[in-house]
Structure 1
Amino acid sequence: MAYLHTIWQQLPIFFWVLCVAVALVIGSFMNVLIYRLPLILKRQWKNECETFLAEIKDEPQLPQGRFDLAYPRSQCPHCHHKIPFWWNIPVLSFILLRGRCHNCRQAISWRYPIVELLSVAITILLFWRFSLSIQWLWACVFALALIAAACIDLKTLLLPDQLTLPLLWLGLLVNTHQLFVSTHQSLWGAAFGYSSLWVLYWCFKLLTKKEGMGYGDFKLFAAIGAWLGWSSLPIILLFSSAAGALVGIAVLAKQRKRQQLQLPFGPFLAASALVYLVFGEQIYHLYWMML
C-alpha cells in the first residue's frame, strides 16, 4: 500500500492509468465468471441429480470435457470460435469489432462492455469515497462481487453459493479489523440479514402459497450485513424493495398478456448496497432524521 501511495503522489497519471487498466481486466474476468459459473453449476447438478434434467432440458447444449473459469479459452457463444487475445481487449475490442464476432458476425452482448466500464466507474467512485487505503481495496472486492452476483441473478435467476457464501465469510473476516464496521455490527448484520428475509419469505408463502424470493437472496443479504453492519440493513431493504416494486409495476404495465412475473431481487439488493457503500453516512443520518 505504501508503494501505491508513493506512485499516486509522484506519478498520478500513471497511477490512474494503472487503476483503469486493472479495473478493465477485472471487469473482463467478471464477464467470464458471469457467463461460465451458471453453466458450471448446471453441469454439476446434471451429473449429481437426474431430476434436475427437467429444469435444464430447454437450455443450450452444455459444454463437454473440462470447463471452468480458466479453461477453455474465451470463445464466441454463437459459433464457438476461439477468440484471439487481440480481439479480447476489454471495451476496445468491442468498439473495433462494432459489437459483432470477428468470425460469424453475430452480435456480442452489450453486457460485456457495460460490466467492464461499470467496474472502472465503481473503482474510481470508491477511490473518491475511501481515497488510497486498504478500505478502498476491500471495498472494490465487495463491490465487484456484488456486480457479478447481480448480473448472474438477472440472467439466470440464480445466486450461486460459490459467490454469496465466500462473500459472507470474507465480510466477517475483513471486519475483524473493523475496516467498515465493528465486529459486533458485522456478526449481527450477517445474522439479521439472513433471518429477516427468511421471515419475510415464510410470511409471504403462508399468506399467498407462493415463493416471493429464493434462499440465495437470504445469503446475499447476510453477506451485505457482514460487510456493512446490521444498521445498514433497514435502509438497504427499504431502497431495494421500493426499486423492485417500481420496476415490477413498470414491467407489468408494459406486458400485453397477463403472465406471472419473475423478477430477481438480487440486483436490487446489490445496487442498494453499492449506493450505501458510497453514500452510507449521509443516507444513514438522513434516514434517521426523517423517522
Structure 2
Amino acid sequence: MLDIFNYFEHAPVAWVIFVGLFSLLVGSFLNVVIYRLPIMLERDWKRECQLLFEDEGVKLPIDIPTDKFNLVFPHSHCPSCKSPVKPWQNIPVLSYLVQKGKCSHCQTSISIRYPFIEILTAIAGMIAAVQFGFSEQTLWALLFSYLLISMCFIDFDTMLLPDQLTLSMLWLGLLANLSATFVPLEDAVIGAVAGYMILWTIFQSFKLLTGKEGMGFGDFKLLAALGAWMGWQSLLLIVLMSSVVGAVAGIIILRLQEKHQQAIPFGPYLAIAGWISFYWQEQIVEFYMNTWVR
C-alpha cells in the first residue's frame, strides 16, 4: 500500500488519471442518488403523515409502496421493460456507447444525462487532483464536488435540497477545516453562520415586501455549507455569481416556457458558483480588480 502511495506522490499524471477513473465510477453512483433519494424521501414523508393521522384516528388515502427501495435495492433495471442491468451493461460511459444509448432488451432510449453526469464527475475529480495533487485536500475536494453535483441535479429535478446532503456537506466542511485544510476554522464557522443568515434575510425581506416566498430553506443551508468550506470571505462572490447566472438563465427559461409562473430552482446556480469559487476565487477577484477597478 505504501508503494502505491509513493508511486502516486511521484507520478502526478497517474494520480490524475486514477482519480478521474474513480470519479467516473462515483458518477455512476451519483446517478442512483439523484434519482432515488427524492423518491426515498417522498416515501418517508408519506409514512410519517400516515402515522400522524392514524394517531388521530384518521385514515389517509395514501398509497405507499411496501417494496424495499433504497440506494442499493432494487438492483439497476430498465425503467421501461424492467429488465435487470447486467454488470457489463453498467460500465460508466462505455456501456452507453456500446449500446448506442438504448436498452439492450427493449431498445428504449436511455437519457444522455447518465453519461453526462459520469463525465462531469470525472472532470471535477481530475480538476481536484490537478489543483491539490496527491494530498488530503484532494480527498476533501472530491467529497465537496460529489455532493454539489448530487444537489445540483436533485434541485433541478425536484426543487428540493435534501437535508441529508446540505447538512452533511456543512458538517464535513467544518470538519475539514478543523486543521485549516482550506480556511481557518474561525472563518469556516463565521462563513456557515453568515451564509445561512444572508439568504434568510433576503428571503424574509422579499416575503415582507411581496407576500411571497422567493426561495427555499435548502438554499440557506447550501450557502451555509459553502461558507463552512470556503470561509465568509467567499460568500459575496458566490451570491453575486449565482444571482447573475440565475437571473440570465431564469429569463431564458421563462421565455421558452408557456407558463411564466413556474418556479425556478436557485440551488444549481449556488452550487455552480460555489464550485467555481472553490478553485478560482482569487483569479476571479484579481481579474475584476484589474479590469473594473482603477
Report the equivalent of 1:269. Answer: 270
Report the equivalent of 2:18. Answer: 18
AA in 2 matched with 1:216: G
Q: Partners of 1:191 and 1:3 in 2: how far apart?
A: 43
AA in 1 matched with 2:69: F
Give yes or no for the alignment of 1:231 onto 2:251.
no
Q: Secondary structure at the match of 1:49?
A: helix
Q: What's the TM-score once normalised by structure 2's chain length?
A: 0.89
Number of aligned residue pairs: give it. 282
Map 1:1-291 → 2, pairs under 5 A: 3=3, 5-8=5-8, 14-50=14-50, 64-255=66-257, 257-287=258-288, 290=292
8 Å contact kept, 2:183–2:229: yes
AA in 2 matched with 1:37: L
Per-residue CA deviations over 1:94-139 (Å, capped at 9, x if unaligned) read: 1111111122221111221011001111111122222221111101
Q: Per-residue deviation at 1:12?
A: 5.8
AA in 2 matched with 1:75: H
Q: Secondary structure at the match of 2:84?
A: coil
Report the equivalent of 1:55. Answer: none
Q: Per-residue deviation at 1:202?
A: 1.0
Q: Could you list the runs of 4 or more consecutive aligned residues of structure 1 that deviate by over 3 angstroms after TM superposition?
A: 1-5, 9-17, 61-64, 284-291
Q: Partners of 1:214 and 1:7 in 2: how far apart?
A: 46
Q: Secondary structure at the match of 1:102?
A: coil
Q: Per-residue deviation at 1:11?
A: 5.6
Q: Partners of 1:282 and 1:232 in 2: how far apart?
A: 13
Q: Partners of 2:207 and 2:259 in 1: how far apart?
A: 21
Q: Partners of 1:130 and 1:263 in 2: how far apart?
A: 34
AA in 2 matched with 1:72: P
Q: Partners of 2:278 and 2:2 in 1: how far apart?
A: 24
Q: Partners of 1:45 and 1:15 in 2: how far apart?
A: 43
Q: Per-residue deviation at 1:258?
A: 4.4
8 Å contact kept, 1:39–1:62: no
Residue 211 to residue 2, structure 1, CA distance change in 2 (3 Å): farther
Q: Partners of 1:77 and 1:259 in 2: how far apart?
A: 31
Q: Per-residue deviation at 1:72?
A: 1.7
Gaps of 5+ in 1: 53-60
Residue 45 to residue 11, structure 1, CA distance change in 2 (3 Å): same
Q: Partners of 1:204 and 1:4 in 2: how far apart?
A: 54
Per-residue CA deviations over 1:212-263 (Å, capped at 9, x if unaligned) read: 11011111110000001100000000000000000011112223x3430311
Identity of aligned residues (%): 44
Task: Let me know the Cα RMSD of the aligned residues.
Answer: 2.2
8 Å contact kept, 2:101–2:110: yes
Per-residue CA deviations over 1:14-65 (Å, capped at 9, x if unaligned) read: 544432321111111111110110010000011111499xxxxxxxx97542
When Rg is computed on C-alpha atoms for both structures, the one with the higher figure is 2
Q: Per-residue deviation at 1:10?
A: 5.8
Gaps of 5+ in 2: 53-62
Residue 128 to residue 180, structure 1, CA distance change in 2 (3 Å): same
8 Å contact kept, 2:12–2:133: no
8 Å contact kept, 2:16–2:129: no
